[in-house]
Amino acid sequence: MQKKFKKSNLEQQVSHIPKKVIWCKKCLISNQRPRIMFDSNGICSACKYAEYKNEINWDKRHDELKRLLDKHRSKNANWDVLVPSSGGKDSGYVAHQLKYKYGMNPLTVTWSPLSYTDIGRENLQSKIDSGFTNLLCTPNGIFQKKLARLCFEQLGDAFHVFVLGQINYPFQLAAKLGIELVFYGENGELEYAGDPKYVDRPYKPSEEWLTQHFKGTSFKNLLKYGLNNGYLNKSDFTEGDLTFYDSPDLKELKKNKIKGKYFFSYFKKWIPQENFYYCAENTGFKANPIRTEGSYSKYSSLDDKFDGFHYYLRFIKFGLGRCVEEVSHEIRDKHITREEGLALMKQYEGEFPKKYYQEFLQYLNISDKQFWNVVDSWRPKHLWKKEGKKWKLKFPPK
């Protein structure tokens, strides 16, 4: 029997968030984003990186990419690079470029969303049909749902179970298959305002994953908490079911000469809109016919019905939802002005993802009342105020 909901300290990012809210003067991100940095002029680290990208010698970076690929290129046409790929525009761009422009032999791998959308499955199949062998891992459904509820309540993010597999599954496979090179799309810490210390390194070492991807809590500690507090039973899973949620042993990665996550954005100037056009032409990628809840775009995060709740809970915890990420990147890319971005945020930022709400409740086995109890427990007092029956941000972007 699960105990009454009570928050733990498993989510370690929130304790480091400053209580005074500052909004970037160039884009629309705030200092509430974990690991973000601001300079003395009130400019965020992502905007600083966007400026820095204009100074990078991309021809030199391209030569660096070719040398890296030549070093790992298979001599017998076996898999020589592994690309985590949902079939979306970014991973599709990386995989297609590696195979058809650079002559590599990529194996694409997919960690299944919590609940597939039709367009997500269609895009994954279209990518496969464009010339790729793909391994899809769909985890134990009983364990996944219970783990998602644990993450929803104790980390403020049910989607965290996807992040665990999306990061760890590819590296577990790479180690087992002897593939030394694992390529992701963009370095989110640089592109979306986080820790800029790897600005001139093409990969992120695995030692950084705990703080930058896993909210400061290892999977083993998360599992232990779930077992000790009634979220999980040992009958819910076998040892094999745990394999792909957990990080590979660092010694095993080093033994297999796997340095960490390589980012295509280090070698190629990263422009999400251009990735969309590229994949629409080359991998059969299709956007949604309607915009994504919480934003104005039609081509981001399409494959999981419950992805919107990840961004909604992020909005609750940090005052930063889905729309702010997209407008801020487009401001940095000079596709829109800050004023245009602010208008879009006022219209869409923090929108509740109602389309799949009932399915989300059923997936987690909770009621509407339980959902809102958890949501409200994650509202920081320095960010939120209640006026009548409505919650409002104390310091909205301006």
Q: Where are the domains of the chain?
A: 14-393
Of 96, 122, 92, nearest to 303 by C-alpha is 122
Distances (CA, A) of 116 to 142, 192, 193, 318, 350: 16, 26, 29, 27, 23
- The pLDDT score that the predictor gives to residue 77 is 87
Q: Is the pLDDT of residue 1 over 50?
A: no
Contact yes or no for 236/143 (Cβ under 8 A): yes
Q: Is the pLDDT of residue 207 over 80?
A: no
Quick one: tokens of 7?
Answer: 């928050």
Contacting residues for 174 by C-beta, under 8 A, at least 6 apart: 82, 180, 182, 256, 258
What does the pLDDT look like over 75-118, one tens digit per residue?
Answer: 998 999 999 999 999 999 999 999 999 999 999 999 999 999 99
pLDDT band at residue 213 under the 50/70/90 scheme: confident
Distances (CA, A) of 7 to 153, 161, 372, 377: 7, 18, 14, 8
What does the pLDDT look like over 241-257, one tens digit per residue?
Answer: 999 999 888 888 888 88
Phi-psi region of 178 (alpha: psi -120 to 50; beta: other; left: phi over 0): left
Average pLDDT in the 37-59 region? Answer: 95
Q: What is the pTM of this model?
A: 0.93
Average pLDDT in the 49-63 region? Answer: 95
Q: Percent of the chain having pLDDT more than 90?
A: 82
Q: Is 66 exposed, middle or buried (0-12, 13-18, 19+ CB in 10 A)?
A: exposed
DSSP state letter for 206: G
Q: Is the pLDDT of residue 261 over 50?
A: yes
Report the alpha-carbon distance of residue 39 to residue 97 in Å, rounded. 35
Mean pLDDT is lowest, of 17-31, 124-138, 222-236, 285-299, for 285-299
- The pLDDT score that the predictor gives to residue 59 is 97
Q: Is the pLDDT of residue 360 over 60?
A: yes
Report the alpha-carbon distance of residue 110 to residue 215 in Å, rounded. 22
- The pLDDT score that the predictor gives to residue 209 is 67
pLDDT band at residue 33 under the 50/70/90 scheme: very high
